[in-house]
Amino acid sequence: MKVLITGFDPFGGESVNPAYEAVKLLPDTIAGAQIIKLEIPTVFSKSGPAVEAGIQEYQPDIVINVGQAGGRSCVTIEKVAINLADARIPDNAGEQPVDEVLQEDGENAYFATIPVKAIVQNVREHGIPCHVSYTAGTYVCNCVMYNVLYMAAKKYPNIRAGFIHVPFAAEQAVDKANGMAFMSLDMIAKSLEYAIEATVQNETDISEAMGTTH
């Protein structure tokens, strides 16, 4: 089994992106699966094609995209991607779509096909906080999650795919306001490792209440 896991390059004025920095720390084999690591651009028009190039080159069974969500307190596993791009700031190529659909012939939304709740459970069982997220935003993270699930639905039906958001790394929080949430890169990487382990070991998700009350 092959797992393609991607992380974005730095954006929004940050010098590093903990997504790819954590991906680089992953072992080359997890739960018997080969781990293929790929950095992708934080650009609306280029992120999806970069992942598809990786799909065509490596023929993975699972694709997991990882991105930064500064301000979140732990790793969060995304459940749904929406067919909308609405950028508060320009991406790394200066693109700033506003109220644009990502795919004219796509569904309004796609659900992750990795076992979101099983992932959360496995990360927590290893003593690391983790939650389900029901919004991947409207920036490049949601864009790549949506486009990869769209591709899987249209062209690569054997691929299971999903998205994981990670918080700021500790070194990024040094010059942030007191109280800014962060995690060590090692803990972020361990969370990703346990997420991949759960994905490899669970073809279908578990049934457990992890929803929100708002």
**Residues noted as catalytic:** 78, 141, 165
Which backbone phi and psi does 212 adopt, to 5 degrees?
A: -100, 170
Query: Under 8 Å CB-to-CB from 21, ≥6 apart: which residues?
Result: 7, 169, 185
The DSSP annotation for 129-184 comes to -EEEES---SSHHHHHHHHHHHHHHHT-TT-EEEEEEE--BGGGGTTSPTT---B-
160 contacts 199 by C-beta, under 8 angstroms: yes
40 contacts 50 by C-beta, under 8 angstroms: yes
Query: Under 8 Å CB-to-CB from 143, ≥6 apart: which residues?
Result: 44, 47, 48, 85, 102
